[in-house]
A and B are shown apart, each in its own frame.
Chain A
Amino acid sequence: MKSYFRELSVAGALAILLLVLAIFAPSFYSPQPLLSLSAGAAGSLVVACGMALVIISRQIDISVGSMFAVCSVCAGLLAAMHWPLALVVAASIFIGAIFGAFNGTLVAGLGLPSIVVTLATMVTWREGLRWLRQGEFVNLPEGIQWFGLSQKSGQWALVIGALGILTLLAFMMKHFSIGRFIYAVGSDAEVARLSGIRPKLTTFLIFVLMGALVGLAAIMNIVQSPQVDPQSGTGLELKVIAAVVVGGVAISGGRGNLWGVFAGLLLLACISPALTHLHIEAYWEKAIQGSIILLAVVAEGLRNQKSSNHG
């Protein structure tokens, strides 16, 4: 029987955390801050979905933070030039897809290890952006923030939109053959090739999708404030990889699902405000994040060792 043990344990941990917060810091549950928190995490959820696909296919992409910043700034600039919002959204997604295609060409086409490729692109895009913008913010015109709706409506739109993307992708992964090909390629690329699946093309498309999702997430980000910060997206890759790994996706590829990633992201997103409400300093966040990644990987490693001893 396929075991959803990992996903259930994450959900359990989340439930415990929420319970602890309910008891010790009920102010966490006030509706407006909670909505703001969820809206703020919407972009990360979208990127996490993409990262899950990348990791399931046995690759990794640490350039998402830089892609996110570039897409945000580009979208902001286009909006400032009074492009219609729909075009801005399309442009951001397109730019993200181009960056993704670049990564994909190097990884799938040339067979280079994705860690080093995305390390290089991460720095290149980030430095390039810093050079062009010199840290200057982009001022957004009226009508962009919250999609031109009220803050509350805008936030709900973001949350629902992100959940919609999650559901769509989860559906695709489970019920469409392209999704199953991703699992197949991640499980054993050679067997996939022998079965008529094209691992290189699949890998390439996954990177393109990742980029497109980052572009979408960038839009979700810029509508939340009147300015675009060119430093946005710093640390996004780690946050998202942590959520994916905690959510039960195996680094070795071929297994995991998006609902577990959702639970993992919620868990991690709640930690930071939980720290605040429990009066633990925010500067512990990165250390906790790193520890969580390590714990999740060690747990997976121990589980693999156990099963290989039985096999």
Chain B
Amino acid sequence: MSGELLQLTSVTKSFGAVRALKGVSFNLIAGEIHALLGENGAGKSTLIKVITGAYQPDSGAIQIDGKDVGRLSPAIARNLGIACIYQQPALFPDLSVAENIALRLEPAAAFSRVNWNSRRTRAQQLLERIGAEISPDAEIRSLSMPEQQLVEIACALGSGARIVIMDEPTASLTQKETHLLFAVVRELRKNGVGIIYISHRLEEIFQLADRVTVLRDGESIGTNRVDEMNESSLIKLMVGREISAIYPPSEKAPGEVVFSLKNFSCPGVRNVSLEIRAGEILGLAGLVGAGRTELARAIFGVVPADSGEMFLDGEKIQIQSTQHAVARGIAYVPEDRRRHGVILEMPIAQNMTMAIHRKIFPGTWLRFGAERQMALDYIRDLSIRAFGPDAPGNALSGGNQQKVALARWLATKPKVLILDEPTQGVDVGAKSEIHKIIRSLAKSGLAVLMISSDLPEVLGMSDRIAVMRAGAITAMLPAKSDAHTVMSAALGQKGPSE
């Protein structure tokens, strides 16, 4: 049966001023593995959320099995046979595999007798069908993440899903587990299921997929048969654009090495070595799951390092807690702004002073005047739009919240500033303001490590670019590199020149 399972026509979705999808058309045939490729922010997850009914498109049509579906909701999508396997499985940690599958698939009737035998048997059958060697009696908590994913896949299969979406399923899998997953996916395909497979690993796409669609900046650049493409042409589709935005240039040559890592390892990171000089912005590029945030967190003391050395101003240091890091002059502006960057319920001024209590409030005594003055100064210097230093964090827009987070860490007068996705979810105007701030910080002598998935930002702002993949640095590139080179390194491919 080679019917068309899913057809999206000119789907548009915007969030305020951000246009996530601009007239995307996409289709899925029964019995095919259709890869979806694109860099971070290209619109992949928005597209998926539209398909699963979590988001309503602003315009455009969705057809399932040739019929218009009107308004999709998660419940309706489930009934229509659409299942999505995320990286974070939605399972009950304390219950068994068989029970999880049963609770997912059975209607929630309160007083029915539980047939453990049939539960077990069905779970066993589903697991066997996908070739997973998991006992149906195993507790979910005792399973590894990949095994939990397989349980999710079993659920999808058991629910009779005919459109299965997999979002970066191999991100944390070993080679062996990946092979197992491929067998499962091929098995699904044999059963006439249509699979949308999102992955950054080009080699997987070439091994597994039948067709591939590339998204870039919310648009579908093209859908091709995989056997008609090669890596280079795919990468060109992913990045091919003019870098038109203007970034503040660096003016001085960087100074001495301020911060360096030698063979630094922590969970998710293997043997990273790098150096950052005073006045330099080292961009850290890579795709989701490359280990950049893990590296930043280990440097900052949120998680302990496993091995390796860290040097600050030539002195070897060991960071065991965030207080250590702050005391040593390391600052980290986290990726999750709303949960870690800013405490939303507290006023801006209090957020700004939160990391420097020892300095601005000697003897633990609060000094409201000094705090207010500092807040006013930062509000002015960083152009923060708020009605006053007393405004709570949740009254500000994303860009302004980010500026508050920046202010907090600038107040610690750090030597090393680590920025994790500094302009994610920030509007264009605030973005450029933040870029100017970052450049002027570097100019004043800070060593800046800027983690960013925004390729133009990385290319435009960085003095050097380190590219990470699977926990290691795969390339150290000079300032005027091109997008293709960076993306190739991020994907683990050889660059165009080689």
Contact partner of A184 among B95, B109, B116, CB < 8 A? B95
B111 within 8 A of A: yes
Stretch at the interface among B63-71, B131-139, B318-326, B431-439: B131-139
A286 within 8 A of B: no
In the bound complex, CA of A186 to CA of B108 (Å):
16
Whether A254 lies near B135 (C-beta < 8 A) is no
Contact partner of B110 among A174, A177, A311, CB < 8 A? A177
In the bound complex, CA of A251 to CA of B144 (Å):
24
Whether A196 lies near B107 (C-beta < 8 A) is yes
Min CB gap B3→A, angstroms = 29
Q: Collect the chain A residues with CB atoms within 8 Å of residue B141's CB.
A: 307, 311
Contact partner of B90 among A191, A254, A255, CB < 8 A? A191
Q: Collect the chain B residues with CB atoms within 8 Å of residue A311's CB.
A: 141, 144
Q: Collect the chain B residues with CB atoms within 8 Å of residue A191's CB.
A: 90-92
Contact partner of B138 among A1, A197, A254, CB < 8 A? A1
Q: Collect the chain B residues with CB atoms within 8 Å of residue A192's CB.
A: 92
Contact partner of B114 among A174, A188, A198, CB < 8 A? A174
Whether A175 lies near B114 (C-beta < 8 A) is yes
Residue from B99, B107, B114, B137 whose CB has the most chain A CB atoms within 10 Å: B114
Given contact pairs A1-B138, A176-B114, A191-B90, A254 touches B108 in the complex (Cβ within 8 A): no
A195 within 8 A of B: yes
Min CB gap B305→A, angstroms = 16
Q: Collect the chain A residues with CB atoms within 8 Å of residue B137's CB.
A: 1-2
- Pick the 6 closest A-B CB pairs, nearest first: A254-B94, A196-B108, A187-B92, A187-B94, A255-B94, A178-B110
In the bound complex, CA of A2 to CA of B140 (Å):
10
**Partner-A contacts on B (CB < 8 A):** 90-96, 99, 103-104, 106-114, 116, 135, 137-139, 141-142, 144
Whether A181 lies near B108 (C-beta < 8 A) is yes
Contact partner of B111 among A178, A186, A196, A253, CB < 8 A? A178
Which residues of chain A from 238 to 296 have a CB within 8 Å of any chain B CB? 250, 253-255
A194 within 8 A of B: yes
> Nearest CB to that of B139 among chain A residues?
A2
Whether B114 lies near A195 (C-beta < 8 A) is no
Q: Collect the chain B residues with CB atoms within 8 Å of residue A197's CB.
A: 103, 108
Whether A176 lies near B113 (C-beta < 8 A) is yes
Whether B94 lies near A176 (C-beta < 8 A) is no
Given contact pairs A194-B90, A195-B108, A183 touches B113 in the complex (Cβ within 8 A): no
In the bound complex, CA of A269 to CA of B99 (Å):
34
Q: What would 26 A/B residue contacts be, using CB atoms closer than 8 Å?
A: A1-B137, A1-B138, A3-B139, A176-B112, A177-B110, A177-B111, A177-B113, A178-B111, A180-B95, A180-B114, A181-B108, A184-B92, A186-B94, A187-B95, A188-B92, A191-B91, A191-B92, A195-B103, A195-B104, A196-B107, A197-B103, A254-B94, A255-B94, A307-B141, A311-B141, A311-B144
Whether A254 lies near B95 (C-beta < 8 A) is yes
Given contact pairs A2-B137, A180-B103, A307-B141, A188 touches B108 in the complex (Cβ within 8 A): no
In the bound complex, CA of A250 to CA of B94 (Å):
10
Q: Collect the chain B residues with CB atoms within 8 Å of residue A180's CB.
A: 95, 99, 103, 114
Q: Collect the chain B residues with CB atoms within 8 Å of residue A179's CB.
A: 114
In the bound complex, CA of A181 to CA of B110 (Å):
8
Min CB gap B11→A, angstroms = 25
Min CB gap A41→B, angstroms = 29
Min CB gap B419→A, angstroms = 30
Q: Collect the chain B residues with CB atoms within 8 Å of residue A176's CB.
A: 111-114
Whether B92 lies near A254 (C-beta < 8 A) is yes
Q: Collect the chain B residues with CB atoms within 8 Å of residue A253's CB.
A: 94
Q: Collect the chain A residues with CB atoms within 8 Å of residue B99's CB.
A: 180
Whether B112 lies near A177 (C-beta < 8 A) is yes
In the bound complex, CA of A311 to CA of B142 (Å):
8
In the bound complex, CA of A176 to CA of B144 (Å):
29
Q: Collect the chain B residues with CB atoms within 8 Å of residue A177's CB.
A: 106, 108-114
Residue from A177, A180, A186 whose CB has the most chain B CB atoms within 10 Å: A177
> Nearest CB to that of A254 among chain B residues?
B94
Q: Mark contacts of A1-30 with chain B using CB atoms, 8 A cut-off: 1 yes-contact digit, 0 otherwise.
A: 111000000000000000000000000000
Min CB gap B94→A, angstroms = 4
Residue from B91, B92, B93 whose CB has the most chain A CB atoms within 10 Å: B92
In the bound complex, CA of A174 to CA of B138 (Å):
16
Whether B103 lies near A254 (C-beta < 8 A) is no
In the bound complex, CA of A197 to CA of B104 (Å):
10
In the bound complex, CA of A174 to CA of B115 (Å):
10
Min CB gap B422→A, angstroms = 31
In the bound complex, CA of A255 to CA of B92 (Å):
11
In the bound complex, CA of A16 to CA of B68 (Å):
69
Q: Collect the chain B residues with CB atoms within 8 Å of residue A194's CB.
A: 90
Residue from B94, B114, B138 whose CB has the most chain A CB atoms within 10 Å: B94
In the bound complex, CA of A181 to CA of B102 (Å):
11
